[in-house]
Amino acid sequence: MADAKHVAVVGGGVMGAGVAYWLSREGVRVTIFEKESIASGASGVAAAMLNEAFPHDPRYALNQLTMRLHKELGEQLQADSGVDFGYMENAHIALAFSAADAARLRAEVPRLAALGQQAEWVDPKGVLEVEPQANPDTLGGLVQHQFQVIASRFTLALATAAERNGAAVVYREVTGLAREGSRATGVQLANGDTVAADAVVLAAGPWTANASAWTGVRLGVHPVRGQILRLEVDHPLRASLSGEEMYIVSKADGGLLAGATEEHEAGFDTGVTPEGLAMIMQAAIKLAPPLANARLVNHVAGLRPGTADDLPLIGAVPGWDALYVCAGHFRRGMELSAASTKIIADLVQGRPSPIDLAAFDPGRFGAL
Ligand SMILES: Cc1cc2nc3c(=O)[nH]c(=O)nc-3n(C[C@H](O)[C@H](O)[C@H](O)COP(=O)(O)OP(=O)(O)OC[C@H]3O[C@@H](n4cnc5c(N)ncnc54)[C@H](O)[C@@H]3O)c2cc1C
């Protein structure tokens, strides 16, 4: 596809906007089709922690590439878009409330050090030196270096930079594909129009599963609801804190995000519940007791794009020409977006992926 003239991208979340950004930087004409608004899905509500991973994770090579690209984007994308997306680096403390927690977290230190990642075990006094508002009643904590962005602004920055490079955003729902034989030749829209394209990228988050019926390939992505709170405090926390499944993250705009639930039975319902609120606040106050006096300014839910093996779908759709998928990144889409979308741009442009994509094969769930 070295001579690709027009690429249609389905979805204006971080994946669709990212693919559009990289391709438009190379002068490719791109149209993003979005049924609601840019970052209206999970990409608008995520905590957007960009964490480093371990070698035993199949996403390790993707993670290493993505962290390198995020560091580059930290400066470049702001210049390209004019959008301040709150890239920052701070400390993250995983707090230990039990002996088992402490043993597990302490064991991470040598493993992380061997990877060249900054990690230190600190006692309860050390926890309070890093974050004075943390719970004083812990057994200590694992302190790591954390990278993060503001999710909605990062996605908006990608889309805005793509538009500055000549991409278009069309606010229409895609309802099917145009094809000639096994080649995707465009997208069909809800208003009955067909828009021609030389390549199509499916980046529709949990709704990517709808394209199974268009392609005959089981694109096994499903929604996993996550409720998350935005809090305001008089004295911002310096560090992010986590324990068990919950976390609190200080953002560059002074706000604090506390989350998140992981609900596998809620389907496409983005409603929020009193139970979700109670679970998150209880955990947040345990991590940092002064949060009992925080102001609750927002309680929202997003739909993470989950898959049966928790791994994303990245690559060409089997049996098709000029059709690609970038979806299913579950809890790590903001982190993995930089590399995943760059790889899709490479494939669309006829370049090989710099990493092995076998674990992310979009065809691994079989035919419909
Ligand atoms: C509470 C919460 C916290 C999170 N925290 C983190 C975190 O700390 N770190 C991290 O890395 N990740 C985190 N995530 C995960 C991350 O948000 C997702 O993995 C990522 O945003 C998925 O991006 P996406 O572009 O694939 O999907 P989405 O953001 O869902 O975007 C898909 C877009 O496609 C559009 N669309 C769908 N169908 C069509 C169609 N037929 N036609 C046109 N448009 C269509 C939708 O309207 C939507 O805008 C979190 C998620 C949640 C919910």
Query: What CATH number is attached to the domain comprising 191?
Result: 3.50.50.60
Is residue 366 included in any domain, yes or no?
no
CATH number of the domain that residue 124 is part of: 3.30.9.10
Same domain, residue pair 24 and 68: yes
pTM: 0.97
pLDDT at site 11: 98
Return the bridge partners of 305, or none. Answer: 223
Residue at a domain's end among 290, 306, 322: 306
Same domain, residue pair 110 and 125: yes
Ligand 1 cavity residues, CB under 6 Å: 10-16, 33-36, 40-43, 45-49, 173-174, 203-205, 207, 226, 228, 259-260, 302, 304-305, 327, 329-335
Of residues 304, 257, 302, the one with CA closest to residue 284: 257
Residue 4 pLDDT > 70: no
Mean pLDDT of 258-278: 97
Residue 2 pLDDT > 60: no
Number of domains in the chain: 2
Minimum CA distance residue for ligand 1 atom 7: 48
Kindly give the distance from the C-alpha atom of residue 109 to the centroid of ligand 1, in angstroms, as a whole number.
32
Same domain, residue pair 234 and 352: no
Residue 151 pLDDT > 90: yes
Same domain, residue pair 157 and 142: no
Same domain, residue pair 46 and 25: yes
State the alpha helices, DSSP H only, in 26-98. Answer: 60-81
Residue with tokens 């057994």: 139
Kindly give the distance from the C-alpha atom of residue 32 to the centroid of ligand 1, in angstroms, as a whole number.
15
Mutate to test the pocket of ligand 1, among 193, 329, 330 (most ligand atoms within 8 A of CB): 329
Same domain, residue pair 48 and 68: yes
Query: How far is residue 90 from each of residues 205, 251, 312, 320, measured CA to CA in Å?
Result: 29, 10, 27, 44
Confidence band, pLDDT 50/70/90 cuts, at residue 3: low
Please tell me the total number of residues recorded for the chain in this structure: 368
Is residue 49 included in any domain, yes or no?
yes
SS (HEC) of 171-192 = CCCEEEEEEECCEEEEEEECCC
Same domain, residue pair 301 and 240: yes
Kindly give the distance from the C-alpha atom of residue 156 to the centroid of ligand 1, in angstroms, as a whole number.
13
Is residue 367 included in any domain, yes or no?
no
Minimum CA distance residue for ligand 1 atom 18: 333
pLDDT at site 1: 44
Is residue 236 included in any domain, yes or no?
yes
Look up the domain containing 176 and give its range: 6-79+152-221+308-360
Minimum CA distance residue for ligand 1 atom 45: 11
Residue at a domain's end among 306, 323, 345: 306
Is residue 284 included in any domain, yes or no?
yes
Mean pLDDT of the chain: 95
Is residue 277 included in any domain, yes or no?
yes
Could you give the CA distance from residue 322 to residue 301 in angstroms, rounded to a whole number?
34
pLDDT at site 25: 96
Is residue 217 included in any domain, yes or no?
yes
pLDDT, tens digit, 9 for 90 and up, residues 33-76: 999 999 999 999 999 999 877 777 899 999 999 999 999 998 89
Return the bridge partners of 246, or none. Answer: 243
Atom nearest to 206 CA in ligand 1:
30
Distance from CA of residue 91 to its chain's centroid? 20
pLDDT, tens digit, 9 for 90 and up, residues 81-99: 999 999 999 999 999 999 9
pLDDT at site 51: 83
Is residue 40 included in any domain, yes or no?
yes
pLDDT, tens digit, 9 for 90 and up, residues 200-213: 999 999 999 999 99
Kindly give the distance from the C-alpha atom of residue 368 to the centroid of ligand 1, in angstroms, as a whole number.
24
Could you give the CA distance from residue 142 to residue 96 in angstroms, rounded to a whole number?
8
Same domain, residue pair 177 and 53: yes
Same domain, residue pair 164 and 299: no
Residue 105 pLDDT > 50: yes
Same domain, residue pair 110 and 23: no
Same domain, residue pair 241 and 269: yes
Same domain, residue pair 186 and 229: no
Residue 112 pLDDT > 90: no
Could you give the CA distance from residue 322 to residue 326 in angstroms, rounded to a whole number?
13
Residue at a domain's end among 306, 326, 349: 306
Atom nearest to 15 CA in ligand 1:
25
Minimum CA distance residue for ligand 1 atom 37: 204
**Contact assessment for residue 69 and residue 339, using Cβ atoms and an 8 Å cutoff:** yes
Kindly give the distance from the C-alpha atom of residue 199 to the centroid of ligand 1, in angstroms, as a whole number.
22
Kindly give the distance from the C-alpha atom of residue 42 to the centroid of ligand 1, in angstroms, as a whole number.
3
